[in-house]
Amino acid sequence: MPITQNDTEVILTHPDNDATNVKILKYGATVFSWQINGQEQLWLSQGAKLDGSKPVRGGIPLVFPVFGKNTDDEYLSKLPQHGLARNSTWEFLGQVSANPPTVQFGLGPEIANEDLVKLWPMDFSLVLTVELGPEHLKTSIEVENTSSTQPLKFNWLFHTYLKVNDIEDTLVSNLTGSKLYDQLLKESYLDKQPAVTFHEELDRIYQNVEGDRLIQVVDKGTPIHTVKRHNLPDAVVWNPWIEKSKGMGDFEPKSGYKEMVCVEPGHVHNFITLNAGEKWDAYQLLYKDELKYQVV
Ligand SMILES: O=P(O)(O)OC[C@H]1O[C@H](O)[C@H](O)[C@@H](O)[C@@H]1O
């Protein structure tokens, strides 16, 4: 069976290879495992809660309608960090294709986390599409403003935790020359380094990275993940390193920071605003490619 489901999760298996699959939790519509031929591609904390008691630490949590903690918008500022999509149970809408196996999940205010919807009383409809290829995973989002009068203002971000072998042997390429906001230094500057390397906590929002730049995660010279973005101009790169990992109760093992890097395609530097009835869509494509130095 290429697509199976139970009360809490949906599993897609590729028809050409039993060991290629993706597992999606209905809570948050969170992809929490993606294997290509038995090899896990995403990092998932051993302490992650998969019971709907809190957002999943690992996989691909969905960030909407706000990235981080907003302080100045009347309604968005009332929401917790990263919004309400990752803490709501989505509706499984079913299969849209058998090969490549593709499914959809939906979220609107009528089923979203009740307490959070009260804080942000907006009309919206989200449809997430997950497509499993032999060597790729595509997650697409469509946001519709279902109000007939009010604009809808939001951020979107795929908070993707990629698995790596050793963070100190890892670099993230093709962001050179982009402006970034360093969330630790609280400063903006132009990244002039040939690649992003990791020796301490790192938390950067790269802004307006051209759409044709592929972001690659490179392990000792070999690209292990390639990230293509559509309509997602910003990219957050994050590794919590030692102290921050210690402070996260659901981050296990504490040495797990060595085996992950978050590369998070999003639209977070500015808000997207949809007028009544308008739609917006975007996707993240994770796949395998040869080394492509587009900028040095
Ligand atoms: O702990 P969470 O709310 O899941 O956030 C995890 C991380 O998300 C993003 O990557 C932010 O840039 C980080 O500042 C934040 O720590």
Which residues are annotated as part of the binding site for substrate? 57, 81, 86
- From first CA to last CA, the distance across the chain in angstroms is 45
Query: Is the pTM here over 0.90, yes or no?
Result: yes
pLDDT, averaged across the chain: 97
Domain range annotation of the chain:
3-163+228-246+262-286
**Ligand 1 atom 16, closest CA:** 240
Task: Report how far ligand 1's centroid is from the alpha carbon of 234 (Å).
Answer: 15
Q: Does the pLDDT of residue 53 top 80, yes or no?
A: yes
C-beta neighbour count of 294 within 10 angstroms? 14
Task: Report how far ligand 1's centroid is from the alpha carbon of 95 (Å).
Answer: 31
238 Cβ closer than 6 Å to some ligand 1 atom: yes
* Rounded Cα–Cα distance for residues 238 and 82 (Å): 15
* CB-based contacts of 198, cutoff 8 Å, min separation 6: 167, 168, 170, 171, 239, 241, 261
Mutate to test the pocket of ligand 1, among 262, 263, 264, 268 (most ligand atoms within 8 A of CB): 262
4 Cβ closer than 6 Å to some ligand 1 atom: no
Q: Does the pLDDT of residue 69 top 80, yes or no?
A: yes
What is the number of the ligand 1 atom nearest to the C-alpha of 204? 12
CATH number of 3-163+228-246+262-286: 2.70.98.10
225 Cβ closer than 6 Å to some ligand 1 atom: no
Task: Report how far ligand 1's centroid is from the alpha carbon of 175 (Å).
Answer: 20
What distance lies between CA 82 and its chain's CA centroid? 11
Which residues are annotated as part of the binding site? 57, 81, 86
126: amino acid identity, one letter: L
Task: Report how far ligand 1's centroid is from the alpha carbon of 99 (Å).
Answer: 34
Give me the pLDDT at residue 27, please. 98
Q: How confident is the model at residue 14 (pLDDT cuts 50, 70, 90)?
A: very high
* Rounded Cα–Cα distance for residues 155 and 139 (Å): 16
What is the number of the ligand 1 atom nearest to the C-alpha of 81? 3
Q: How confident is the model at residue 295 (pLDDT cuts 50, 70, 90)?
A: confident
State pLDDT tens for residues 200-242.
Answer: 999 999 999 999 999 999 999 999 999 999 999 999 999 999 9
* Rounded Cα–Cα distance for residues 55 and 114 (Å): 15
* Rounded Cα–Cα distance for residues 87 and 79 (Å): 11
Q: How confident is the model at residue 296 (pLDDT cuts 50, 70, 90)?
A: low
Give me the pLDDT at residue 114, please. 98
Q: Does the pLDDT of residue 100 top 80, yes or no?
A: yes
State pLDDT tens for residues 120-154.
Answer: 999 999 999 999 999 999 999 999 999 999 999 99
Q: Does the pLDDT of residue 155 top 90, yes or no?
A: yes
